[in-house]
């Protein structure tokens, strides 16, 4: 299902990281449907996403592995060479590693913090250096329920997503006066690769669905509306929030 948002992003130039699959693919598709030109950034083939959008003149695939800062400046320069401007950045790429806190390894800590937090910050910085002189721009970070809750067996994920909510507030405080909106969306439990282990564990799956007031997992398209709202002029006076889209999970 595609979320519809009219032509709210007509003529805007958006970057979506981790756009080859899951939530990022839905965001790229739905932003394109709302009129945006979309630069799809990721380390895997973008073919499926580009086919879903089916508008070769309005999409650009950028190959980039965000497990280091090496591609950051190139992403910005490729988008500028292609479209001449950047209006929207959706920091979506993210990973998770599961193990008991007692056994958690330094590699599982560093890998997650690098993609989920460090690359998110430095890509935001690089894009903001383009947005600030223009006096406008929207940055939407993808946070998590673990921006609000502790969780279990995912220490680096919880630390990184709590950090995303904090950084969202800090960047909003620094850049709101410069015309840039920095906000985040915190998806609940969404059917993607990220949650495969939970979906496939019958006990965890049942416990999760029972606790969600809406009574079901989210599909990626359930999350797009909030991202498109925060990327649009409808959110011009919204700064520093982390908006849960969780079927009521946090209300419980």
Q: Is 144 in the site for ligand NAP (CB under 6 A)?
A: yes
Among 5, 148, 157, 249, the one annotated catalytic: 157
141 belongs to the binding site for ligand NAP (CB under 6 A): no
The tokens 């806190």 sit on which residue? 101
Instruction: List residues bridging with 187 in a β-sheet.
Output: 245
Dist. CA 197–CA 108, nearest whole Å: 17
Tracing tokens 């965000």 back to the chain, one arrives at: 66
Instruction: Answer yes or no whether residue 192 interacts with ligand NAP by CB under 6 A.
Output: yes
Strand arrangement of the beta sheet that strand 59-63 belongs to: 59-63, 37-42, 13-17, 88-91, 137-142, 180-187, 242-245
Q: Is 65 in the site for ligand NAP (CB under 6 A)?
A: yes
With contacts defined by CB under 6 A, name the span among 88-96, 131-139, 205-213, 234-242 that binds ligand NAP: 88-96
Alpha helices in the chain (DSSP H): 22-33, 47-53, 72-83, 106-113, 119-134, 155-175, 196-199, 202-211, 220-231
Least distance CB 177 / ligand NAP (angstroms): 28
Of 107 and 233, CB closest to ligand NAP = 107
Interface with ligand NAP (CB under 6 A), residue from 16, 42, 46, 249: 42
Q: Does 124 bind ligand NAP (CB under 6 A)?
A: no
157 is catalytic: yes
Rounded least distance, CB 155 to ligand NAP, Å:
14
Cβ within 8 Å of residue 160, ≥6 positions away: 94, 112, 113, 116, 117
Residue 100 C-beta: closest distance to ligand NAP, Å: 20
Q: Which stretch binds ligand NAP (CB under 6 A): 30-38, 49-57, 187-195, 230-238?
A: 187-195
Shortest spacing between CB 211 and ligand NAP, in angstroms: 14
Nearest alpha carbon to residue 18 among 90, 87, 97, 85: 90
Please identify every residue annotated as catalytic.
157
């Amino acid at each position: 299902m595609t979320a519809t948002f009219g032509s709210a992003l007509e003529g805007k130039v958006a970057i979506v990281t981790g756009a080859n699959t899951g939530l990022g693919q839905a965001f790229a598709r739905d932003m394109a449907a709302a009129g945006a030109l979309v630069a799809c950034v990721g380390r895997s083939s973008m073919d499926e996403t580009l086919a879903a959008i089916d508008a070769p003149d309005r999409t650009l695939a950028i190959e980039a592995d965000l497990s280091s800062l090496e591609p950051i400046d190139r992403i910005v320069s490729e988008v500028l060479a292609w479209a001449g401007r950047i209006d929207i950045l959706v920091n979506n790429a993210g990973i998770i590693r599961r193990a008991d806190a007692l056994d958690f390894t330094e590699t599982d800590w560093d890998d997650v913090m690098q993609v989920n937090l460090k690359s998110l910050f430095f890509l935001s910085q690089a894009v903001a250096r383009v947005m600030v002189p223009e006096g406008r721009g929207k940055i939407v970070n993808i946070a998590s329920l673990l921006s609000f809750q502790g969780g279990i067996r995912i220490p680096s994920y919880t630390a990184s997503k709590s950090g995303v909510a904090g950084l969202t507030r800090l960047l909003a405080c620094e850049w709101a006066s410069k015309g840039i909106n920095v906000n985040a969306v915190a998806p609940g439990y969404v059917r993607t690769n990220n949650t495969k282990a939970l979906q496939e564990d019958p006990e965890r799956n049942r416990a999760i669905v029972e606790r969600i007031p809406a009574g079901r997992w989210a599909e990626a398209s359930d999350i797009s509306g909030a991202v498109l709202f925060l990327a649009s002029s409808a959110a011009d006076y919204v700064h520093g929030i982390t908006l849960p889209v969780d079927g009521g999970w946090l209300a419980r």
